[in-house]
Structure 1
Amino acid sequence: MPQNARPLSPHLQIYRWPLSMALSILHRATGIALAVGLLLVVWLLFSLARGPQTFAVASAFCGSWFGLTLLFGWSWALFFHLCNGVRHLFWDAGKGFSIQRAKASGVVVVVASFVLTGLVWACVIAQGGAS
């Protein structure tokens, strides 16, 4: 077969990712995001231990629009990683491997992560913590 007649392999612009593959990649990405976001939580805890002035600076940052966006994203990553981890535990037990169940459990993971994040942030806002 001549070199110029070889078929091209599919590339990312035309290849359709299955939901399970996308969620697997997102699971890894949220694991990294959780590790990085933990630095913000540790900074808050250390600033709390150092005194009121230091905590006021950290609290002001976390209460800003940028800090709240980071905390919101971190909390969504936490719930997505948790829900998808439970899904993987079921897979480890040999449950839910059919294509239909894998798709359905993937949708449940995404919906549950947003619902849980929304519930937590509704409680935060109701307590006046994000104002």
Structure 2
Amino acid sequence: MSNADLKSNRPLSPHLQIYRLTLTMAMSIVHRITGGALYFGTILLAIWLIAAASGPGAFDVVNAIYGSIIGRLILFGYTWALIHHMFGGIRHFIFDLGKGFEPAERETFVRIHLIASIVLTILLWIIGFVVA
């Protein structure tokens, strides 16, 4: 049997066109993206800590950058990514316990996960502005 015959007899895997994108699938993708984004956000945190240790001049510069509109948007996104990723980890922990595999349960977990991450991020920022 030639190599070409072996390839032609293989079963075809479903392609992306066959699958309907569900909220659970989208949240899994977003969980991976937020995990990658946390690396860059942690670099921002490290820069802020190094500036604080370097003295008031460096700290003021970094605070001015992070306090700008763009800086605050980036920090807001980092906060959401951190909280979203945390709730994703909790959801996966529940899956590891053998719970939440029914379609209705998965959809409920995903909706709670998404709403809770948004609400908690906004709540933390409101508290941050009130305290500061």
| Count of matched residue pairs | 119
Structure 2 residue aligned with 1:80:
84
RMSD: 1.5
Instruction: Please give the alpha-carbon distance, in whole angstroms, between the structure 1 residues aligned to 2:122 and 2:99.
Output: 28
Q: Name the amino acid aligned to 1:104.
A: T
Structure 2 residue aligned with 1:113:
117
Q: Give the TM-score, by structure 2 length.
A: 0.85
Uncovered stretches (5+) of structure 1, i.e. residues with no partner: 1-8
Uncovered stretches (5+) of structure 2, i.e. residues with no partner: 1-13
Larger radius of gyration: 2
Percent of aligned pairs sharing the same letter: 40
Instruction: Please give the alpha-carbon distance, in whole angstroms, between the structure 1 residues aligned to 2:128 and 2:107.
Output: 32
Instruction: Please give the alpha-carbon distance, in whole angstroms, between the structure 2 residues aligned to 1:11 and 1:87.
Output: 25
Question: Which deviates further from its counterpart, 119-128 or 91-100?
Answer: 119-128
Instruction: Please give the alpha-carbon distance, in whole angstroms, between the structure 1 residues aligned to 2:88 and 2:112.
Output: 9
Runs of 4+ in 1 over 4 A off after TM superposition: 9-12
Instruction: Please give the alpha-carbon distance, in whole angstroms, between the structure 1 residues aligned to 2:16 and 2:25.
Output: 15
Instruction: Please give the alpha-carbon distance, in whole angstroms, between the structure 2 residues aligned to 1:32 and 1:11.
Output: 23
Q: Give the TM-score, by structure 1 length.
A: 0.86
